[in-house]
Each structure stands twice: as structure tokens, then as C-alpha cells.
């Protein structure tokens, strides 16, 4: 008996992967995804049916924002029952933010949503676009006992599928553009596709998909540095309508323990501002109280981001602020993994 052919929806948002170079002028122009198989005949070897949908006006990923995340989520919501998996083509610069946001927005996701892109356009001689696209689609078709094998938002780049909300872009020039410092790869592609089953998210499949379309952007990101002043922080923290701050601290969550700094944080936390402590380091975790310099932060109610990435912390903050939780509940939920974003 022949296996049921899987249906994959390709969602094109923009980015380098969607560009093709005119052989005569050398100018980059948007790729026609309706003629995908003409340009990439290898796709015919995959045992799946591929449909495509594009943003009305494809964007550079530097212009990505929550309104576009909602558009991506709505494409998935509208087509969820008709397709077995989704591949989102996206510019690499903000891909980790988008993959993180969608992981929170798509509650009870039971199918693969795989973000991918490329460092070179699809028509370039040495492009990485073909491999990233073909393997992303192939991974999205993987089935186990009649159900999709991957049931989460992933990011595929240069032979590795990572959990999307664990990734950070680390290089603007190498094909290996992304890393997941605090969580291992879900899939590695070589001669064979090797799946790390123990690393995959295992959601409750009895629950139906719930798509969250409200995100609160009244937040800022503050990176500490030696010499940061009271005046600068006061100015940032007094931003009108500000509700949340991601504070990028040193090492395992350390900050200056100068009285003015602790008092400033304490004052704004009392006013109802949520302050989340994440590390500036590429890998590792915030452990408040491990050193004397972070003990006071814990006492005044700063939220621990543990080993979450800055990208996931920002999008989780946007997501949770829209839920209107009590302060105590908010802290508890932020410090708990919702969809594999922290250990």
C-alpha cells in the first residue's frame, strides 16, 4: 500500500532566498514561486505536493514586525487542516525573532512550521538556497504512524534543523549563519537525515491549535555596559506606556550593585514594570543569586530569563503582556518553559 502523499504549504515572506539574478543585467529580482519546480526540478523527487502562498508585497526581513507575524500565523491557521507541514521562507536577519514569535503564537501546534532562508539568492552558482529549501521541505514531509514527525516551529539552515526559539543569527557571511547554543539540533542532514527523537517537542495532540494574534510591543531591550549612566537608564525606563524590559546582563545574570542602579530597578518594578534578566553571553544561563552582584536583583523581583535567547525573551514578553496576567502569575509563567524555549 502506497503512503499518502503529504501536502506542504510554502509561505514566502521575502528575503534573499526569494531573489533570482537576471543573467544579463545581474540585477536581483523577485523569484516566481508559482514556477518553483521549473527552477528546482529536484523537488519532483520528493513524494509530496507543494503549494505556495506569498505576502502581497514581499519584505526585507529588516522590516519584519508583529503585524507580519500575524499574517504568517493566519496563513497557517487558514490552511492548517489541508496541509501536513509548512515551510516559511524568510530573510535571515530577523528569522530567529520570527521563529520565536510563531512558537508562542501557535499554541498546541501539531505540525512542522519550518523557517528557512539563504545567504545567497536562489539563482546564484554557489547558492545555499536550494539545499536549505529542499531539505526543509523534505523534513516537513517526515511522518510517523500517519502523523507529522516534527510538531513544532523549527529553523533549518546549513544541514541542521534547530528549535526556532533557541536560535540566534551568529554570522552574516558564512552559510552556517545560525547557532543554538543552549539546545542541541533536532535534525542533522548529511548522506542521511538523522533525527534526534529525544530532542523533539512532544505536544498534547488531543488539544486543538489555538492561534494568538495579540502582541504587546510596549517593551524595550537594554544592554548593560561598563559606564552606563543613571540618566540614560532613567530616560529609557520612563518611556511612555512602557510595560516590559529585557535587560541584557553580564555572565550568569550579573549587574552592577551600585545603590542607584538597584533603587532604579526597584522603583520601576513597584510601578508595575516587568524586568527580565537575560545574559549577554551567546550560551549559558542566568542564575540569579549565584553571585553577590545578582542576589539583590532576585530580592527586588527581577524575572529570570534562565537560558532563553534574547530573541525568544522579547517575543515571549510581547506574547505574555497581551494576556493581562497578575504580576505573580506573569513571573511564574515567564520563568516556565511554554514551548521548549528554556531548559
277, 251 Cβ separation under 8 angstroms: no
Contact assessment for residue 342 and residue 104, using Cβ atoms and an 8 Å cutoff: no
Whether 16 is a known active-site residue: answer yes
Write the burial class of residue 143 (CB in 10 Å: 0-12 exposed, 13-18 middle, 19+ buried): middle
Identify the bridge partners of residue 214 per DSSP, sorted by sequence position: none
Q: Are strands 219-223 and 193-195 parallel, antiparallel or unpaired?
A: unpaired
SS3 96: helix
C-alpha cell at 338: 511554554
CB neighbour burial string for 53-80, b if at least 16 within 10 angstroms, e if fewer: ebeeebbebeebebebbbebbebbbeeb
**β-sheet with 303-304: strand ranges across:** 219-223, 244-249, 274-279, 303-304
Catalytic annotation, pick one of 6, 13, 16, 116: 16
In the sheet that holds 85-89, the strands lie side by side as 48-54, 6-12, 85-89, 113-116, 153-157, 160-163, 187-189, 193-195
**Strand duo 6-12 + 48-54: pairing:** parallel
> Which DSSP helix (H) or strand (E) runs through 6?
strand 6-12
The residues carrying an active-site annotation are 16
Amino acid at each position: 500500500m502506497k503512503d499518502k502523499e503529504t501536502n506542504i504549504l510554502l509561505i514566502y515572506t521575502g528575503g534573499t532566498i526569494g531573489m533570482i539574478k537576471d543573467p544579463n543585467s545581474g540585477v536581483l529580482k523577485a523569484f516566481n514561486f508559482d514556477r518553483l519546480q521549473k527552477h528546482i526540478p529536484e523537488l519532483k523527487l520528493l513524494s509530496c505536493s507543494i503549494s505556495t502562498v506569498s505576502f502581497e508585497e514581499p519584505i526585507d526581513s529588516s522590516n519584519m514586525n508583529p503585524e507580519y507575524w500575524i499574517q504568517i500565523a493566519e496563513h497557517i491557521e487558514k490552511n492548517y487542516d489541508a496541509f501536513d507541514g509548512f515551510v516559511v521562507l524568510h530573510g535571515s536577519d530577523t528569522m530567529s525573532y520570527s521563529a520565536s514569535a510563531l512558537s508562542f503564537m501557535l499554541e498546541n501546534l501539531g505540525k512542522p512550521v519550518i523557517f528557512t532562508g539563504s545567504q545567497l539568492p536562489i539563482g546564484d552558482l554557489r547558492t545555499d538556497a536550494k539545499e536549505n529549501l529542499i531539505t526543509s521541505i523534505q523534513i516537513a514531509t517526515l511522518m510517523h504512524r500517519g502523523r507529522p514527525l516534527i510538531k513544532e516551529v523549527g529553523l533549518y539552515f546549513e544541514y541542521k534543523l534547530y528549535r526556532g526559539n533557541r536560535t540566534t543569527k551568529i554570522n552574516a557571511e558564512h552559510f552556517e549563519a545560525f547557532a543554538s547554543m543552549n539546545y542541541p539540533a533536532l535534525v542533522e542532514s548529511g548522506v542521511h537525515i538523522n533525527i534526534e527523537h529525544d530532542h523533539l517537542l512532544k505536544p498534547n495532540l488531543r488539544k486543538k491549535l489555538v492561534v494568538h494574534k495579540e502582541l504587546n510591543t510596549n517593551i524595550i531591550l537594554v544592554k548593560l555596559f561598563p559606564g552606563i549612566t543613571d540618566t540614560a537608564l532613567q530616560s529609557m525606563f520612563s518611556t511612555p506606556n512602557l510595560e516590559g524590559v529585557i535587560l541584557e546582563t553580564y555572565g550568569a545574570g550579573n549587574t552592577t550593585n551600585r545603590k542607584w542602579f538597584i533603587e532604579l530597578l526597584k522603583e520601576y518594578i513597584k510601578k508595575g514594570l516587568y524586568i527580565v534578566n537575560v545574559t549577554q553571553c551567546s550560551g549559558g544561563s542566568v542564575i540569579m543569586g549565584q553571585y553577590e552582584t545578582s542576589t539583590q536583583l532576585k530580592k527586588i523581583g527581577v524575572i529570570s530569563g534562565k537560558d532563553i535567547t534574547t530573541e525568544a525573551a522579547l517575543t515571549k514578553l510581547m506574547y505574555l503582556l497581551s494576556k493581562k496576567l497578575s504580576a505573580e502569575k506573569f513571573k511564574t509563567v515567564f520563568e516556565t518553559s511554554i514551548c521548549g524555549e528554556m531548559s
